[in-house]
Structure 1
Amino acid sequence: MRRRIASLPPWTLAVAAMLSIQFANALSVGVLREVGPAGTAWLRMCFGAAFLWMIARPQFSSISRKDLPALLILGVATGFMTTFFLGAVQRIDLGTAVAIEFLGPLAVAGIMSKNRAALLWPGLALCGVVLLTEPWAGKIDLAGVGLALLSGVCWGLYNVYTQRVGDRFSGISGLSLTIPIAAIATAPVGLPQVIHGNLLWWVLLAAAGIALITPVIAFGLEMLALRRMNHTAFGTLLSIEPAFGVLMGLLVLGQSPAALQLLGIAIVVTAGAAAQRGGARADPQGPEEIIEHPIPENPTQERG
């Protein structure tokens, strides 16, 4: 199964990951009403770490000193990307939050592109975000926008360091190391909300189910995709994620954007696609240099 997934075109993995992430974010709205956005993010990271450790036993002895900075940065960025984003979703619509958050990876992709003109496109995306937030109508929630922007900064770091960690470890192995770091990093803000929140049985069950979708499945697919794509190609695909946010907001949360907001989303998507050029990324390391902890084909076989 693992080999079949890895043999799929990388763009299909990226699209599946984006849909999964936005679906999980939409499902998280009910949980964050009970335990807050930081509490929801922390529970997702904790359950995600538990699932990943059941799937892949991390071999800490295989980590070199030079691996530590990338693992730590990716873990912290992952945890706070989710925390800030759920804080934004608590205040503004899902599609709007994704579009604002997208400014982060769009800026990273523009900076890393060989085409210097790509740096102009984040400005166009910003125009689309202005149409989404409608500041002239007095509807803008500054705290929600600020949280989405902070999440975007983390998202930009996440994309860069996901590729670096994915080049060194297999998707599941890398996640089994970084998601526990995310849980530890977000504990100071997430645990108090869980303790003082309304921690019902269904909240724990929902958080566990959401964690199985994201971070386990979705982030694993992203790592596989980023190992085989460069930042510009991956960023081009990311440009459709705001549209996925609108779609999930409509289907799951019943959030219907106005015509002007749809135009804003279209501008953000266009800017993201136009900012990037590129194709497939050659695997920078041979398979023998990547630390793999495959799942045995026979489920009764002992993992080494």
Structure 2
Amino acid sequence: MGPVLLVIGSCTSLQVGAALAVHLFALGGSTGTTLLRLGLAALVLLVVVRPRVRAWTGLQWRAAVMLGLSLGAMNGCFYAAISRIDLGTAVTIEFLGPLTLSAVLSRRLRDLLWVGLALAGVLVLGLTGEHHGGSLDPVGVVFALLAGACWAAYIMASARVGRLVPGHGGLAVATAVGALALVPLGAGGAVHALGTPNGLWWALGTALLASVVPYSLELAALRRLPQRTFGILLSLEPVIASLAGWALLGQRMTLLGGLGVVLVVLASAGATGTAGRERRQGADGRERVDLTTPAG
């Protein structure tokens, strides 16, 4: 499979997993579903990766814990959002987080303009409402914005873990930490979901499709693609999320709503492409942050 198809497959798997999670909300709630997703994914990753945590320093542990907390918060807020607003809308709003982070770190007017374009797309979504004709649920919008902020924190924490912890041990431990952080809020819902006839299968499908499979495909793609190209391809995620919501959840989008998604995709691709050109030209030597991490 070519690297472009690997990225598209990763985005598709991630959003199909999110659509499956919506069906699980009725059994375990959004927080219980998040706990099941991260908990089962952590078990798979810990068994496969087998991180050598005994040799870790305190600095490595702190980095992994911070990544886990941001991962748990990001997924918890994202699932709370898609329990209230459409999948494509939530992912589109969530994209404001990494876009804003990229603009703040670069401090260039051009990147601020990309964020402005993305914000315009989100405002178009807010004005047009969703497929059922009503306005956007404000609580769902707030959760999507919080998920975006946590996504930005996740990007920074992930970069730190990547520098300090070799291999994928940091991700495996962070996923477990994220799951443990959600136990107080999601344990009741998770237990209830697992007690239903199909709850375990829904949860396992969500964990594999939304965590294990996309992470594996992205790793394979990054070994064969430049990060700039990878980031631009990842900008298709709001579109894929909208298609998954339409195909699996019956969530249709208005013409103006589709325009809002397109504006955010263009802004994300533009910001990623600009950052890639600046890295190749040397820019000013400051560290850049790529939009190369999964949403939700």
Report the Cα offset of residue 61 of structure 1.
Answer: 1.8
Give the Cα separation in 2 of the matches to 1:14 and 1:78: 21
Report the Cα offset of residue 220 of structure 1.
Answer: 4.0
Letter in 1 for 2:74: M
| Contact 2:128-2:254 at 8 Å conserved across structures | no
**1:192-207 mapped onto 2 (5 Å cutoff):** 192-195=188-191, 199-207=195-203
Report the Cα offset of residue 16 of structure 1.
Answer: 3.1
**1:1-304 mapped onto 2 (5 Å cutoff):** 9=3, 13-113=6-106, 115-134=108-127, 139-169=135-165, 172-195=168-191, 199-222=195-218, 235-276=231-272, 277-279=274-276
Letter in 2 for 1:79: G
Please state whether the residue corresponding to 1:257 is helix, strand or coil: coil
Tell me: CA distance 1:201–1:59, structure 2 relative to 1, closer, same or farther (3 Å): farther
| Contact 2:24-2:193 at 8 Å conserved across structures | no
Q: How many residues are matched?
A: 275
Report the Cα offset of residue 248 of structure 1.
Answer: 0.7
| Contact 1:35-1:199 at 8 Å conserved across structures | no
Report the Cα offset of residue 247 of structure 1.
Answer: 1.1
Tell me: CA distance 1:138–1:252, structure 2 relative to 1, closer, same or farther (3 Å): closer
Give the Cα separation in 1 of the matches to 2:118 and 2:152: 15
Larger relative contact order (CA 8 Å, sep ≥ 6) = 2
Report the Cα offset of residue 272 of structure 1.
Answer: 1.2
Report the Cα offset of residue 163 of structure 1.
Answer: 3.0
Report the Cα offset of residue 60 of structure 1.
Answer: 0.7
Give the Cα separation in 2 of the matches to 1:145 and 1:134: 13
Report the Cα offset of residue 194 of structure 1.
Answer: 2.8
Comparing 64-73 with 22-31, which one deviates more in the overlay? 64-73
| TM-score normalised over the length of structure 1 | 0.80
Gaps of 5+ in 2: 281-296
Partner of 2:291: none
Letter in 2 for 1:250: W
Report the Cα offset of residue 196 of structure 1.
Answer: 5.6
Tell me: CA distance 1:66–1:13, structure 2 relative to 1, closer, same or farther (3 Å): farther
Percent of residue pairs identical? 38
Give the Cα separation in 1 of the matches to 2:38 and 2:25: 14
Letter in 2 for 1:133: G
Tell me: CA distance 1:150–1:114, structure 2 relative to 1, closer, same or farther (3 Å): closer
Partner of 1:300: none
| TM-score normalised over the length of structure 2 | 0.82
| Contact 2:85-2:137 at 8 Å conserved across structures | yes
Partner of 2:289: none
Tell me: CA distance 1:234–1:149, structure 2 relative to 1, closer, same or farther (3 Å): farther
Report the Cα offset of residue 15 of structure 1.
Answer: 3.5
Letter in 2 for 1:31: L
Give the Cα separation in 1 of the matches to 2:194 and 2:43: 22
Tell me: CA distance 1:171–1:94, structure 2 relative to 1, closer, same or farther (3 Å): farther
Report the Cα offset of residue 56 of structure 1.
Answer: 2.0
* CA-to-aligned-CA distance 1:19-78 (integer Å, 9 cap, x gap): 221111011111011110000000111111111122122211232222223211211111
| Contact 2:15-2:210 at 8 Å conserved across structures | no
| Contact 2:117-2:263 at 8 Å conserved across structures | yes
Gaps of 5+ in 1: 283-304
Report the Cα offset of residue 226 of structure 1.
Answer: 6.5
| Contact 1:26-1:248 at 8 Å conserved across structures | yes
| Contact 2:93-2:148 at 8 Å conserved across structures | yes
RMSD: 2.8
